[in-house]
């Protein structure tokens, strides 16, 4: 799956597209935030904050 993040206008749209892509890839790989956070070396809380846009 390839997404062109630069085709949308404004930073907010780019962030939403990136987040949707990450969540879709997690779903396809059947991986949860907790596992992704562990493998990436982050806490689940931090990853949730990034994916939640907070």
How far is the C-alpha of 51 from the C-alpha of 23, rounded, in Å?
8
- Say what the pTM is: 0.68
Tokens linked to 33: 């935030």
The dihedral formed by the CA atoms of 38, 49, 19 and 17, expressed in degrees to the nearest 10: -160
Share above pLDDT 70 across residues of the chain, in percent, rounded to a whole number: 76
The whole-number average pLDDT for the span 2-12 is: 60
What percent of the residues of the chain are helix, what percent strand, and what percent coil, each to the nearest 5? 70, 0, 30
Q: Is the pLDDT of residue 33 over 80?
A: yes
Chain centroid, CA 9 distance in Å:
19
């Amino acid at each position: 799956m390839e997404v062109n993040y630069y085709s949308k206008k404004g930073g907010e749209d780019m962030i939403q597209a990136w987040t949707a892509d990450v969540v879709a890839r997690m779903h396809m790989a059947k991986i949860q935030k907790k596992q992704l956070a562990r493998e990436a070396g982050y806490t689940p809380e931090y990853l949730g904050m990034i994916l939640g846009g907070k």
